[in-house]
Structure 1
Amino acid sequence: MYSKEVIVRNKTGIHARPATMFVKMASSFTSDISIEKDGKQANCKSLINILSMGITKDCKIKISADGFDEEKAVSELVKMVEAKFGEA
C-alpha cells in the first residue's frame, strides 16, 4: 500500500471534467486506487464515487493504491491534482 496527501488547488475542485480526467488516469493502472477526504473513502475508478465525495478547492485528500504499479499510480494522480487538472 502506498499513499500520499495533496491539497486540491483548482478553482472548482474535483467536479465533472476533472473527475473524468482523474478516473480515466486511475483506470489506466492495475492497482486498486482509492481517494479519502474527511474519513470518507471512494474508489478512484468510479466517476460517481469521486463526484459523491464533494471535493472542493483547498480540500486535503489522500490518494492510496495497492498493487503492482501503486507508487506510479499515486505519483501520477498527485501530479495531476498539483497541476490543477490543466486549469489555465
Structure 2
Amino acid sequence: MHERKAVIASRVGLHARPAGIFAEAVGELTIEVPIALEDNAAEDAMDASSILSLMSLGAANSDIVILRAEAEGEGEGEGEGAVAVAALGALITLLETDLDAE
C-alpha cells in the first residue's frame, strides 16, 4: 500500500468543479484510491472516484488529505507498485493545483 499527503490548493476546496476534475482522473485508473482528511482514521477514507464522496469530505483550501493506492498483484514482482506510485503522483499534482484558476 502506498500513501501520499497533499495540500488542497483550490481556493474554495474540493467543491463541485475541482472534485469533478479529480474524480474523473481517479475514475480513469485501474486501481482504487481512497481519500481522507489527515486527521481522520484510515477506515473513514472515501472513494476518490466519487464526486459526492469528495464533496462530502469537506476538504477546504490548505487542508491536508491522504491518498492511498495499491496496485493489483502488488508484491508479486519488481515494479508492481510503480502504477500506484505514478498514479498517486499525478493525483497529488491535481490536488496541489488551484483548479479554480484554470
- TM-score strictly above 0.5: yes
Q: State which structure, 1 or 2, has the greater radius of gyration over its C-alpha atoms.
A: 2
CA distance in 1, matches of 2:32, 2:94: 18
| 1:7 aligned partner, one-letter code | V
The residue that corresponds to 1:16 in the other structure is 16
What's the Cα RMSD here?
1.4
CA distance in 2, matches of 1:65, 1:11: 26
The residue that corresponds to 1:87 in the other structure is 101
Q: Deviations over 1:3-41 (max 9, x none)?
A: 110111221101000000000000111111011113141
The residue that corresponds to 2:28 in the other structure is 28
User: Unpaired segments of 5 or more residues in structure 2?
Assistant: 73-82
Q: Deviations over 1:30-64 (max 9, x none)?
A: 11101111314101111111111011111010111
Larger strand percent: 1
Question: Identity rate of aligned residues, in percent?
Answer: 20
| Correspondence 1:1-88 to 2 at 5 A | 1-37=1-37, 38-39=39-40, 40-68=44-72, 69-85=83-99, 87-88=101-102
CA distance in 2, matches of 1:2, 1:86: 28
Task: Using the TM superposition, give the Cα deviation of residue 85 of structure 1 relative to its aligned residue in structure 2, in angstroms.
Answer: 2.3
Deviates more, 1:25-34 or 1:66-75: 66-75
Q: Which runs of 4+ in 1 moved over 3 A?
A: none
